[in-house]
Structure 1
């Protein structure tokens, strides 16, 4: 499976999720393979002006799976929060093109929660998505402004063929 196909699914899931904190979702980058000068990715913009980029990365050396945290990381950790949210979207949608997905960490690399989201396609290919965040003009809210948000059932129906 190509990076662009994984990004198509990730972008569609973020759009279908209709999260009230999201103001825009865009695609960027020209590279269809990880490791180039302009890696392909999906950028999610938030009301605070900050953004999350989920982009195709070269597989980290000795990547080890890490469990999904019990709680969503705080807003100030947008990259970690974005990786967890993408994992949750995949858990709900269960896209038939993918056989699995997991958060992973690289030995010796200290990051909150995870370094990447490893997506395994049904054809056996693997794509790693890294999360990077950029802050906006102001600070992130201390408290989640949408604590009651739930991923809509339509996310599952749209990607399972129902």
Structure 2
């Protein structure tokens, strides 16, 4: 599986999720594989003006699985929150193109929750999406301390998107 294919799934799931805090979702970078000069990823913009970037990085052999926390990190921890939300979307949609996904650490990096989302595709390829964030005009201090949308639930449309993609893929095979 190519990085661009994994990013297509991540982008589509975020769009289908219709989270009320998200104002825009964009793709960036030209690399088709991790480790190039123009890292490819998905950037999610929030009402505060900050963003989370999930971008392809060369997988680390020493990366260790990190248990999924019971609660979503606060908005001021956008990178951790973005990785965990992407994990929740994958859990909900269960895309057939992926065999598994897990949050993981990165050697030499200390971050809350996790540094990346490791995705193993059905073909055995491993996609390692690193999570980073950029603050809005007020910096991390401009982020809400608490979730502004505590009643948000992933809509059934995320699962329906997945079913439509599977049906289309089966029809082309």
Residues 103-142 of structure 1 mapped to structure 2, 5 A cutoff: 103-138=103-138, 139-142=142-145
Residues 75-90 of structure 1 mapped to structure 2, 5 A cutoff: 75-90=75-90
Q: TM-score, normalised by structure 1?
A: 0.97
Q: Which moved more, 1:135-144 or 1:117-126?
A: 135-144
Q: Which has the larger radius of gyration?
A: 2
Residues 4-153 of structure 1 mapped to structure 2, 5 A cutoff: 4-138=4-138, 139-153=142-156
Which ranges in structure 1 are unaligned for 5 or more consecutive residues? Answer: none
Deviation at 1:32?
0.8
Secondary structure of the structure 2 residue equivalent to 1:63: coil
More helix by share: 2
Which ranges in structure 2 are unaligned for 5 or more consecutive residues? Answer: 168-173
Q: TM-score, normalised by structure 2?
A: 0.91
More strand by share: 1
Deviation at 1:61?
3.7
| Distance (Å, rounded) in 2 between the aligned partners of 1:73 and 1:135 | 16
| Distance (Å, rounded) in 2 between the aligned partners of 1:50 and 1:130 | 17
